[in-house]
Amino acid sequence: MIRNLTPQDQEELAEALRNARQPLPLNGDEIVALAKRARIRDVLRGEMVMRQGEPSTEFYFVLSGQLRTADVSGMQPRLLNYHAARTFVGEHGVLTDTPRSATIDAISDATLAFWDKATMAWLLELNPAMRPYFEELHHYRAIRSETPPFPGKQEDEVVVVHYGKHPVVLLSNLSGPTFLMLIGVGLMVLGLSLGDAAPPVIVAVAVGLPLFAALAWGAYNFIDWRNDEYIVTSKRVIHIERFPLYGETWDEAPLVRIQDITVEAHTVWERLLNYHDLTIKTAGAGNIEFAGLVNAQEVQQVIFDERAKALERREAADKASIRNTLARKMDLPVSDVSLPVDTIVPTTHIFKRGQSLRLPPLLDYLWPRMTVTAGDTIIWRKHWFVLLERVWLAVLLVLAALSMTIFTLVSELWIPALLFGLVTLAALFFYVYRYDDWHRDVYIVTSDRIVDVESSAFRLRGEKRREGTFDVIQNSTYDIPGFLAGLLNMGTVNIQTAGTAGTFSFHHVFNPSGVQQEIFNRTVAYQENRRRQERVREETKMAEWFGEYYHLQSRSGAGETEPTGL
């Protein structure tokens, strides 16, 4: 719905323009003049604001609600950005007189102020600083939309900020290598001053060792500083800590679980150099540490803003669902989201079921699969390296006993052959016993729960089975503990749960990052589906109440017009 501004609308728009997220280079009178030239458009969730490829005739300023930008040029729409209140959208196409580069729809009910191309020309003539302002705004959004995706990024997720550690952290880490390099330089100067009195080989070794160690140590510290990541998306905060030649850890928390954020600077130098530690406190998911962060206070505000926007989108979805339920009950048109980028992906397809080997049951049992997929169920076993640790001695015993059995048979030593044959059978049983002990320890993920089965070989010493549903999962992280584990892509996935379920730990699994991503996707899908089911039940009751009210009101109105017979 399009309407002209009332005096109250003009005041509210002028105030919103003064407090735009990217401050305008306009004075008070210019802002008031711009507000007076605007018109208002009210849009409902799911309504298109502009379509990709159409002519650019208006540009908008979001007064309330949220919009969503997507690239629909490919087979699958690609989410680019969310736009909250006090933000311009669609200005670049009008500024450059080019077609719309993306499609924008309303992800919640929104109120938009908009202006035509003539106003853009007037505004650029009024204040030439507006052109670089709009160009910088477009450049900032382009950088955000082109940010490389991180592993496990979902289709309905936008990377908002992607930071590393402050350069001060690197300088402090290079103090040791620098001192070692100075020692090498000092030894070089000393060797040159001694001249022929010092053997060249000894001087070369004495100088080369500390210099080489300093360079290697410095390179290691640089890589260690460079490859740590702090990520804030439209759904979660993520800390990826990588250790060169040692492993990595992944820690994350959903935005909706964040309770408090603390920014700390321990020294005066840290405050002067904008170098802080940021601690994110969450409900049930522990604390996320962003240590040595650049622009920590800015990141803190971004996290709070994204959390508020995420909650607003959730509330908007609830409100739209209620509206659509009532509309169906009253046979009215239904309005819903138009771009299929909201879809919750229940699986990463990393462990997609492929062509399974058709083997006899015994051979299928002895085939050491680390991952088995059957429908929506995935079964993980410990890494084959763990199996190798358990069976290597048994394998050696089998090979040795079998070799001696063959040798004694060839030598026609029947009694030793019989004895070594028995030893071979015993070694084979030992191998199967150790293999079964590995085979029965499984981690299972279904469409609604996680299962940790810890068993003994052939269940001779019993079996322990723990289960937890996805509705109690608070957080999931993974840890690759060292160089060998990183080389083998082996690690531990920890799933933190609420209540008495405790923490589930999937130890020594292959591809721990993929396992963690799979659990995260399934958790989000399960919790969203359950929330949707609860919402549908409540909406159905509400629709029945309003339907009865509408029915009674209709009958009452009809009764008033019926003749009384007098």
The encoded tokens of residue 375 equal: 């429908």
CB 253 within 8 A of CB 282: yes
Beta strands 103-106 and 110-116, pairing class: unpaired
User: Which long-range contacts link 23-27 to residues 24+ away (Cβ below 8 Å)?
Assistant: 24/130, 24/133, 25/127, 25/129, 25/130, 25/133, 26/127, 26/130
pLDDT tens, 123-181? 999 999 999 999 999 988 887 777 777 877 887 788 998 888 888 888 888 888 888 88
By the 10 Å C-beta count (0-12 exposed, 13-18 middle, 19+ buried), 414 is classed as exposed
CB contact set of 233 (below 8 Å; sequence gap of 6+): 153, 157, 158, 159, 160, 306
Q: Which of 145, 176, 210 lies at the terminal end of a domain, its last residue?
A: 145
CB contact set of 86 (below 8 Å; sequence gap of 6+): 16, 19, 20, 21, 61, 62, 63
The encoded tokens of residue 250 equal: 């992944």
| Residues 178 and 286 occupy one common structural domain | no
| Residues 174 and 106 occupy one common structural domain | no
CB contact set of 296 (below 8 Å; sequence gap of 6+): 263, 274, 276, 277, 278, 290
Residue with tokens 């017009």: 561
CB 223 within 8 A of CB 239: no
| Residues 367 and 496 occupy one common structural domain | yes
Sheet containing 78-83: which strands, arranged edge to edge?
Answer: 48-50, 103-106, 67-71, 78-83
The encoded tokens of residue 37 equal: 């030239």
| Residues 199 and 128 occupy one common structural domain | no
Q: Which of 179, 197, 226 lies at the terminal end of a domain, its last residue?
A: 226
CA dihedral 150, 152, 155, 161 (to 10 degrees): -40
Angle between helical axes of 28-36 and 117-126 (0-180°, round to 10): 170
| Residues 237 and 375 occupy one common structural domain | no
Angle between helical axes of 512-561 and 296-329 (0-180°, round to 10): 40
Which pLDDT score, from 0 to 100, does residue 565 have?
43
Instruction: Name the strand (E) or helix (H) holding 561.
Output: helix 512-561
**Structural domain includes residue 73:** yes
**Structural domain includes residue 435:** yes
User: What's this model's pTM, rounded to 2 decimal places?
Assistant: 0.78
| Residues 429 and 514 occupy one common structural domain | yes
| Residues 137 and 62 occupy one common structural domain | yes
**Structural domain includes residue 393:** yes
| Residues 319 and 462 occupy one common structural domain | no
Which pLDDT score, from 0 to 100, does residue 285 have?
61
Query: Cα angle at 473 between 508 and 230, to 5 degrees?
Result: 70
SS (HEC) of 473-515: EEEEEEEECCHHHHHHCEEEEEEEECHHHCEEEEEEEECHHHH
**Structural domain includes residue 152:** no
Query: Cα angle at 425 between 422 and 431, to 5 degrees?
Result: 145
Count of the separate structural domains present in the chain: 4
**Domain limits at 238?**
159-165+228-328
Displacement of CA 154 from its chain's centroid (Å): 7
| Residues 419 and 324 occupy one common structural domain | no
**Structural domain includes residue 532:** no
| Residues 192 and 234 occupy one common structural domain | no
Whole-angstrom distance between the N-terminal and C-terminal Cα of the chain? 48
Q: Which of 278, 303, 328 lies at the terminal end of a domain, its last residue?
A: 328
Which pLDDT score, from 0 to 100, does residue 564 have?
45
CB contact set of 308 (below 8 Å; sequence gap of 6+): none
Which pLDDT score, from 0 to 100, does residue 4 have?
87
Instruction: Name the strand (E) or helix (H) holding 405.
Output: helix 384-410
**Structural domain includes residue 352:** no
The encoded tokens of residue 341 equal: 């980028």
Query: Cα angle at 250 between 244 and 254, to 5 degrees?
Result: 155
Residue ranges, the chain, pLDDT below 70: 195-198, 284-285, 329-330, 334-345, 353-359, 499-501, 547, 550-551, 555-566
Which pLDDT score, from 0 to 100, does residue 336 have?
62
| Residues 365 and 444 occupy one common structural domain | yes
Residue with tokens 């402050």: 166
Distance CA 44, CA 336 (A): 9
**In this structure, is the dihedral angle defined by the CA atoms of residues 262, 268, 269 and 273, taken in order, positive or negative?**
positive
Residue with tokens 């007098």: 566
Distance CA 473, CA 523 (A): 7
CATH classification at residue 318: 2.30.29.30
CATH classification at residue 50: 2.60.120.10
CB 77 within 8 A of CB 123: no
**Structural domain includes residue 33:** yes
| Residues 112 and 195 occupy one common structural domain | no
CB 470 within 8 A of CB 347: no
Instruction: Name the strand (E) or helix (H) holding 310.
Output: helix 296-329
Distance CA 173, CA 180 (A): 13
The encoded tokens of residue 86 equal: 């006090």
**Structural domain includes residue 396:** yes
Which pLDDT score, from 0 to 100, does residue 561 have?
47
Query: Looking at the DSSP assignment, which residues form a beta bridge with residue 21?
Result: none
By the 10 Å C-beta count (0-12 exposed, 13-18 middle, 19+ buried), 106 is classed as buried
SS (HEC) of 354-383: CCCCCCCHHHHHHCCCCEEEECCEEEEEEC
Beta strands 275-282 and 377-381, pairing class: unpaired
